[in-house]
Amino acid sequence: MRHAFIMDPLEGVKPHKDTTYFLMLAACERGHEVFFVDPVTLSLQHSEVHAAVVKVKVSRDQQQPFVVESKGSYALATMDAVWIRQDPPFNRSYFYVTLLLDQLPDRVQIINRPVTVRNWNEKLAALRYPMFTPATLVSRSVQEISEFLEEQERITVKPVDGHGGKGIIFLNSGGNRLSEQLDSATHGGRHWVVAQQYLPAAREGDKRILLLDGEPLGAILRLHAEGVELNNLDQGGSAEPAALDQRDHQICEAMRHDLVAHGVRFAGIDVIGGMLIEVNITSPTGLQEMSRFDKVDYHHRVIASFES
């Protein structure tokens, strides 16, 4: 098979933890051809998607994880699988990448389906399953959010288009400078934010569950660094082994049909205290840590699912 990975530049990859690198490595080890695609090189030539493509050999040597074998311009329809693995934010450029990839023929497996990547905001998609989510308000009105805070007493506020824990704040009812903080968070009422009931269980970490074709592969627990409230690994957090409990399985089962029906082959969901917080389908991470903890080659399992 020929796997094309649309992703950020190779020189920025951190092979000790990067999930995209890990998937590319498995594809190479299983005898497939692996190609790097910089999203800025995508073009549409009438109805055919083209890109500048770099064929790479992927190695376990973290000092030299990629060896370039050849370069050229290809029609992406010549690929068997195209992976959308560009990191958020999901901005206008990312939006147009999904529109271009919509033009690929059905015979090409795209991970994940571009229209779903486009339509499923990672914060808002969780609200498709309201029975599993904490009390939530999506608004850009400082007044509405202030009233919600009074009801909940403590809330988490995050940008609707945020990523990696950036821009998240925690507010207490009766706290200082609330209007000023909410005005800043909403950019003067111009940007929507997600205000959510604070879950005390966040102090014990949040669980990242990875799903393949709607079925849970496994999980890791992300813990915050000393003196930091956010559990995100990008904010200095650390990962620990985690097992799925009954509630996790209920959440995964509730989502399974939707994920399959909407072409979400590989997803990551975030769960805190048994409550669904986010549905990550752009470039979910955590696969390396999970594989190390469970001593299972999950990256091979993911690639093998496309071989049939």
How far apart are the C-alpha atoms of 20 and 73, rounded to whole Å?
A: 22
pLDDT digits (tens, 9 = 90+) for 6-60: 999 999 999 999 999 999 999 999 999 999 999 999 999 999 999 999 999 999 9
* Residue where a domain terminates, one of 148, 179, 197: 197
pLDDT digits (tens, 9 = 90+) for 223-246: 987 766 666 666 667 899 999 999
Average pLDDT estimate for 271-279: 97
How far apart are the C-alpha atoms of 155 and 135, rounded to whole Å?
A: 10
> What value does the mean pLDDT of the chain take?
95
For residue 294, tell me if it sits in a domain: no
Which residues, listed in sequence order, are joined to residue 192 by a DSSP beta bridge? none
Domain assignment of residue 217, given as a range: 201-280
For residue 54, tell me if it sits in a domain: yes
Within this chain, do residues 96 and 12 fall inside the same structural domain, yes or no? yes
How far apart are the C-alpha atoms of 60 and 87, rounded to whole Å?
A: 22
* pLDDT over threshold 70, residue 71: yes
Within this chain, do residues 192 and 205 fall inside the same structural domain, yes or no? no
**Residues 142, 66 contacting (CB under 8 angstroms):** no
- Which CATH number covers residue 167? 3.30.1490.20
pLDDT digits (tens, 9 = 90+) for 149-179: 999 999 999 999 888 778 899 999 998 999 9
Average pLDDT estimate for 268-293: 96
Query: Which amino acid type is present at position 262?
Result: H
For the beta carbon of residue 191, count every other beta carbon within 10 angstroms. 13
Which residue's entry shows tokens 């311009």? 73
Q: What is the pLDDT of residue 302?
A: 98
Within this chain, do residues 169 and 216 fall inside the same structural domain, yes or no? no
Q: What is the pLDDT of residue 235?
A: 61
Taking the model in full, what pTM does it have?
0.94
